[in-house]
Chain A
Amino acid sequence: MGNLIERSVQAEKIWAGEINPGSDDSDKNISLVKRLFEEVWNKGNLSLVDEILAQDFVDYNRPPGAPDGREGYRAGVIMIRTAFPDFNFSLDQILAEDDHVAIRLTGLGTHKGDFLGISPTGKQVSLGSMTFIRIKNGRIAERWGISDIPRVIQQLQAKG
């Protein structure tokens, strides 16, 4: 990783407290999370779910009635991508410390399929979202997330 001078500068910054050294896995953890959103969510590449999520993956904020684990996570992606086929999350901010990662996201999509009982409106909506993730043995083991679904419904039901 970089040459000697780059590494010294990095070390100085860490020593001065300007940047967080994190564990060696911070960069890897961030790449894994980026892959989840860029591949699975934005491209619909569902085959990667088993590779990115641990076998005993737990989602503490899954939609009511959704199954737990990888299967429930896939169902969530399918539900959103069926209602908004061009759905795209922009990763506004990612923070990592120890085995935890926090992500701030903005989703954009066009409403072309049924969403929570609302027939397609053709409107473009934005979805604010934050997610906390814990990584174990190179896979996502736990997930906590909040998405502003009430605001999406508001956007879909707004006149005009």
Chain B
Amino acid sequence: MSDIAKTLYRNFVEEVINKANYDLIPEIFSEDYLDHNAPPGAPAGGFDAIRAVPIMFRGAFPDVHFVIEDMINQDGWVATRVSGKATHLGKPFMGIEPTGLRASWSSMGFFRVANGRIVEHHGQPDLGALQNQLTRKIEPGSLDHNRFIVSRYVYATNIGELDRFDEYVDPGFVDHNALPGQRPGVDGLKDAYRMFSAAFSDLWYTFEDLIAEGDKVVGRGVIQGKHTGAFMGIPASNKIVRWTGTRIFRVVNQKVTDGWIDLDMFGLMMQLGAIPMPGQS
């Protein structure tokens, strides 16, 4: 009995939270699971309540990773203490727009297990510590600041507020992978985004890694969107497509001055059906 509770919780952290393996939820939690401390606006019961929390964290922190520090087991309950590490690269969290900052915090919970499944939970994450780290003062010109500028610029593209570019992008921006015929400077950059967002709705670029050194910031990420408009002569397919993109930025005087981007166009074209998938004729 005691080992079951710990094993279930370990699977929840290592598979569901750390690997986003949401398919395992019904093997760990009971269908009538109850969360006594569900975040505001999130469902309090059932599989949806379990999914909501890691999905929310992963959306804001794509690299979120938890380590179990302690588990105490008694009478069908297990008390857990974990530490989390994550980089704020995705969606806003607690009203804070992405900063590119790394944070670490701890979280505690009490889980009850019955009939081989987790049935209820009380949770106490240290959101105060997390909030303090995500809003800490960043020294201008530091590597953290360069990551902050890049994070905010890419976030502005994600929410489609191209006017916010002016705060983070140099007017003389040089696009080293410009589209054929693209205008120079920040205006040409905006044109390139408009071209993509006209073809793909809900376009969202998520960094999974963001590394700063010298005046450069390097990001590896994934783009997702719905193909609702013509793209390079391919009519709308309404498919949700996902492709990878690696980007390098140069930041000078707190503005992005240069950009390099390498998109997996081959993978995108395969998903759109313009290039046959391997094994298809």
Q: Contacts A17-B2, A102-B79, A132-B79: A150 and B128 contacting too (C-beta < 8 A)? A: yes
A137-156 vs B, CB cutoff 8 Å, 1 = contact: the mask equals 00000001010111000000
What is the total number of residues of chain A having a CB less than 8 Å from a CB of chain B?
25
In contact, B131 and A17 (Cβ under 8 angstroms): no
Q: Which of A17, A61, A102, A148 contacts B1 (CB 8 A)?
A: A17
Contacts A102-B110, A150-B128 known; 7 new A-B pairs at CB < 8 A? A17-B2, A20-B2, A95-B110, A132-B79, A144-B106, A148-B128, A150-B131
In contact, B106 and A100 (Cβ under 8 angstroms): no
In contact, A148 and B74 (Cβ under 8 angstroms): no
Closest Cβ of chain A to B150, distance in Å, is 29
B46-62 vs A, CB cutoff 8 Å, 1 = contact: the mask equals 00000000000000000
User: A residues bordering B, Cβ < 8 Å?
Assistant: 17-20, 22, 26, 61, 92-93, 95-97, 100-102, 104, 128-130, 132, 144, 146, 148-150
In contact, B37 and A146 (Cβ under 8 angstroms): no
In contact, B128 and A128 (Cβ under 8 angstroms): no
CB contacts (< 8 Å) of A19 on chain B: these are 74-75
In contact, A146 and B77 (Cβ under 8 angstroms): no
Q: Which of A95, A104, A130 contacts B73 (CB 8 A)?
A: A95
Q: Contacts A128-B37, A129-B124: A146 and B74 contacting too (C-beta < 8 A)? A: no
In contact, A101 and B124 (Cβ under 8 angstroms): no
In contact, A144 and B81 (Cβ under 8 angstroms): yes
CB contacts (< 8 Å) of B107 on chain A: these are 146
In contact, B77 and A95 (Cβ under 8 angstroms): yes
In contact, B108 and A130 (Cβ under 8 angstroms): yes
Compute how far the CA of A132 lies from the CA of B75 in the bound complex, rounded to whole angstroms: 17
In contact, A146 and B126 (Cβ under 8 angstroms): yes
B63-86 vs A, CB cutoff 8 Å, 1 = contact: the mask equals 000000110111101110100000
Compute how far the CA of A91 lies from the CA of B14 in the bound complex, rounded to whole angstroms: 30
Compute how far the CA of A130 lies from the CA of B82 in the bound complex, rounded to whole angstroms: 12
Query: For residue B125, which residue of chain A has the nearest CB?
Result: A146
Query: For residue B132, which residue of chain A has the nearest CB?
Result: A64
The 7 A-B residue pairs whose C-beta atoms are closest, nearest first, are: A102-B79, A130-B108, A17-B1, A130-B124, A95-B74, A150-B128, A102-B72
